Structure 1
Amino acid sequence: MKVHKLSGYIQNIYLVEDSQGLLLLDGCSRADVDNVCHYISHTLGRAISDLKLIVVTHMHPDHAGGAMRLRARTGAKVAAHPKASNWYKGLAGRTAHSIDVLLTRWVAKRIGKPRVPLWYNPILSADILVCDNQRLPIFNDWQVLYTPGHTDHDLSVVHVPSKQAYIADVLVQVKGKLVPPYPLCHPNQYRESLKKLAQSQIETFFCAHVPPTAKDAIDFDHVIHNAPRKPKNHWHSSKNRIKKKLFGLTQEH
């Protein structure tokens, strides 16, 4: 088993190569589809149909935006948590999806990436639904961990024999320090997810926005202790701004 690390549009991409074929540990962004296919065919010298499975860890643009296009191009199956398809449903969900696409574009601009199409279908049609502790089909050495907090459907995937895991956005890096992601929709579940990872046998963590990190280098207790106690997302941020504004007007009168 070999893990190939690709530089994505705004995130790290991890492509697994083993005797069963190729496994993509996240759905990437729409901007990454050509990059992934080119890497498979030119760098690895393999047919793009060797990509057998794509895991969507959660529905944000840099993790799900390329999944359906990669499936159409390669024939790979898409696996996700059962709750993933509901994340952007309804008017509120569609609004959140639009905001998340705009935030992705903002991040890309900050790091000097060109403006490219990022829009994708907000309702995921997964081929395979996977839950906590389940083994991935085809790639049975990989085990799913349910690690919600960032969203209600976050997945991590563990290569059990080598004790390596991809945890997507469970941890991000700000000014060189590992911190909780934004948004953080379920802070209590997030703490439990961190405890699960801290107590696991995993030795190396791969993240979407952090270099591969040894478990010993992560102060899980510090992150848990300093994680927000209340949700931090678009809706709560907007409501807090409105409340402060109204409170200020009330104070003036």
Structure 2
Amino acid sequence: MKIHTLSGYIQHIYLAEDSEGLLLLDGCSRADVDKVCSYITSTLGRPLSDLKLIVVTHMHPDHAGGAMRLRERTGAQVASHPKAAAWYKGLGGRTAHIIDLLLTWWVADRIGKAKESIWYNPILAPDILLKDKQTLPIFANWQVLYTPGHTDHDLSVMHVPSKQAYIADVLVKVKGKLVPPYPLCHPNQYRESLKTLAQSSIDTFFCAHVPPTAKSDIDFEHVIDNAPIKPKNHWHSSKNRIKKKLFGVTKNH
């Protein structure tokens, strides 16, 4: 098994290659679709049909935005947690989707990327639903880990023989330090997810926004102890800004 790393629109893209074919460890963004296809055909010299499975770890634009277009182009199946399809449902969900698209452009601007088309259908239609600890279809050496916190449906995937895992946005880096992601919708579940990863047999962690990191270099206990107690997301941030404007104070959690 070999993991190929591509530089995506605002995140790292990981494409696993083994005897069963190609496995895309996340759905990347709409802006990354051509890059992934070109890498498969030009760099690897393989037909697009060799991409067999696309895992959507969660529904944010840089993790789900390219999944359905890649399915159309390659014939690969798309897999996600059962809760993923409902993440952006309803008026509140549609509003959150637009905010997340705007945040993606904001991040792109911060890292010097031009504004590209990143719109995608906020309601995912996966071919396969994944549960905690199950083996990935087609790729028997990969195991699913349910690691909620960032959202209610976050998935990580572990290559059992090599003890490597892709954990998407479970950890990000700010000012050189590993910290919880934003938003953090379910802080209690997030702590449990960190404990699961800390107690696992995983030796190396691949993240969407952090270079591959050895377990020995991650102070899980520190991250757990300093993680927010209450949710931090668009709604809570807006509420705190309104309170600050009205009353001149806000609570820090």
Common fold by TM > 0.5: yes
| Equivalent residue number for residue 128 of structure 1 | 128
Q: How far is the alpha carbon of 1:240 from its aligned partner?
A: 1.1
| Equivalent residue number for residue 63 of structure 2 | 63
Q: How far is the alpha carbon of 1:21 from its aligned partner?
A: 0.4
Q: Extract unaligned runs of 5+ from structure 2.
A: none
Residue 49 of structure 2 aligns to a residue whose secondary structure is helix
Give the TM-score normalised by the residue count of structure 2: 0.97
Aligned: 1:228 with 2:228: yes
**Structure 1 residues 202-211 or 106-115, which shifts more?**
106-115
Q: How far is the alpha carbon of 1:243 from its aligned partner?
A: 1.9
Aligned ranges 1:93-112 → 2 under 5 Å: 93-112=93-112
Q: Distance in 2 between matches of 1:243 and 1:122?
A: 30
| Equivalent residue number for residue 145 of structure 2 | 145
1:161-219 superposed Cα distances (whole Å, 9 cap, x missing partner): 11000000000001110000000000000000000000000000000000000000000
| Equivalent residue number for residue 25 of structure 1 | 25
Q: Distance in 2 between matches of 1:48 and 1:114?
A: 27
Q: How far is the alpha carbon of 1:73 from its aligned partner?
A: 0.3
| Equivalent residue number for residue 246 of structure 2 | 246
Q: Distance in 1 between matches of 2:29 and 2:180?
A: 21
Aligned ranges 1:113-124 → 2 under 5 Å: 113-124=113-124
Amino acid of the residue matched to residue 94 of structure 1? R
Q: How far is the alpha carbon of 1:241 from its aligned partner?
A: 1.4
Q: Distance in 2 between matches of 1:115 and 1:242?
A: 29
Residue 97 of structure 1 aligns to a residue whose secondary structure is helix
Give the TM-score normalised by the residue count of structure 1: 0.97
| Equivalent residue number for residue 161 of structure 1 | 161
| Total equivalences in the alignment | 249
Residue 16 of structure 2 aligns to a residue whose secondary structure is strand
Q: Which stretches of structure 1, 4 residues or more, deviate above 4 A after TM superposition?
A: none
Amino acid of the residue matched to residue 75 of structure 2? G
Residue 100 of structure 1 aligns to a residue whose secondary structure is helix
| Equivalent residue number for residue 36 of structure 1 | 36
Q: Distance in 2 between matches of 1:150 and 1:187?
A: 8
Residue 6 of structure 1 aligns to a residue whose secondary structure is strand
Residue 115 of structure 1 aligns to a residue whose secondary structure is coil
Q: How far is the alpha carbon of 1:140 from its aligned partner?
A: 0.9
